[in-house]
Amino acid sequence: MNLQEIKDKLIEILHRFSQVKVLVVGDVILDKYIKGKVERISPEAPVPVVEIMEEEIRLGGAANVASNIKTLGGEVFLVGIVGKDEEGKMVQDMLREKGIEFLGVEASSRPTTVKERVIAHAQQIVRLDRELKDPIEPEVEKELRRRISPLKDKLSVVVISDYAKGVVTPSLVRFLKGNMKNSFLIADPKVKNMLLFQEFYLVTPNLKETILFLGEEGEVPVLAKKLKDRLRAKNILVTLGEEGMYLEGEEESGHIPAHAREVFDVTGAGDTVVGIMALGIGCGAPLKYSCVLSNLGAGIVVGKLGTAQPTIGEMEEAIEDFAHEIRNYL
C-alpha cells in the first residue's frame, strides 16, 4: 500500500466505529483531581503545602473505557457498581451527559470507588483511594446478570475492564462467556484475575502484568507467546508504555511503536487502547490496523492531564502526522 492508501484505510476504519455496539463490564471509578501550587513546606511535617486552585472530576476505570468508545462514535452500554453516595450520583450524571447508557447497580454495601489525585506544577503529589475490593455480593451479581441478558443478541463486542475492585468475579466471567457467544470477548486484566480470561479473543495486559503473571522476565515476543499459550487466547496485546505495544496474534504478530508528541500523564491510556481495539474489532478491521489506531489514540491521551479521550478529529490529525512512520510496519 502507498502512503495515501494507508491513510485512507485508517480513516475509513475510524468512520466505521459508529456501527459498533459494545458492552463494557467492570470497575467504575470516579477520578478526582485537586490542582494547585506549592510555595512552602508545612511547619507541621516535612510535606509540601498545596494551595488549591482548581478541582475537577472525570470518569475512570470501566467508565473511562465506555467514554472513549462513545467519544469515537460507538454505541456503548456500561455495567458496573456505584455506591449510594454523592460520588455515585456524580458518575451517573456524567454518564448521562455523555449519552452512555448505565445498566449498573447502586449498591448500599460499598462506596463508589474514588481515586483522588493532588497535583501541583504538573506533578502528582499524592493519590488518595476510597474503595472496597471485596467481590460483589451474589445478589448484586445476579442483578448485573439480569441487566446484561437482554443485550446478548445486540452486541458486537464485550469488554471486561478489570481494576480488581470486586466486580469481575469468576462466576460473572463464566456467565459472559456462556451468554455472549456471538460477541468478541476482550479483557483488560489485572494479574490476580488473569486466568479468568482463558480463550478470550483478545487480552491486553501491560508488560509489568505479563511479567508478574508468568513469574519471569524476558524478550517481549517470548513473553507474549507464553501468555497466549497459557491463556489459550486467540490474541495477546502487551502494552509497553513509551515503547508502544506488541501484538501476538493468531494471524499476525509484531511490534507497533508509540506515537506521542509529548507524554504528560499516562493515566487512562490503557482504557483508550482497549476501547479503540473493541471498536476496530467490532467493525471488522484487520487486527494490526486496530492496534495502530489504538496506539495513536493512546499517544493523544498521554499528552493530556488525567483520564481523557481522543476525538475523531484528533485521530485523523494523528493519522496524517504519523502516516510515514506507520507505513514502515503495516
Tell me, yes or no, if 271 is annotated catalytic.
Answer: yes
| pLDDT in single tens digits along all 330 residues of the chain | 788 999 999 999 999 999 999 999 999 999 999 999 999 999 999 999 999 999 999 999 999 999 999 999 999 999 999 999 999 999 999 999 999 999 999 999 899 999 999 999 888 999 999 999 999 999 999 999 999 999 988 999 999 999 999 999 999 999 999 999 889 999 999 999 999 999 999 999 999 999 999 999 999 999 999 999 999 999 999 999 888 999 999 989 999 988 766 655 566 789 999 999 999 999 999 999 999 999 999 989 887 766 678 999 999 999 998 888 888 887
Nearest 5°: phi and psi at 222? Answer: -70, -45
Q: Is 239 helix (H, G, I), strand (E, B) or coil?
A: strand
- In CATH, what is the architecture of 3-31+60-113+131-326? 3-Layer(aba) Sandwich (3.40)
Sign, CA dihedral 293-298-299-301, equals: positive
The catalytic position among 31, 162, 265, 271 is 271
Q: Which residues contact 243 (CB under 8 A, 6 or more apart)?
A: 257, 258
The confidence score (pLDDT) of residue 123 equals 86
Answer yes or no: are the C-beta atoms of 323 and 284 closer than 8 Å: no
**Cβ atoms < 10 Å from Cβ of 177:** 16
- Give the HSE-up count for residue 206: Cα atoms under 13 Å, Cβ half-sphere: 15
pLDDT number for residue 260: 62
pLDDT at residue number 308:
76
Q: Supply the pLDDT for residue 324.
A: 85
d(CA 68, CA 50): 31
What pLDDT does residue 206 have? 95
Q: Which element (helix H / strand E) includes 118?
A: strand 113-120
pLDDT at 306: 65
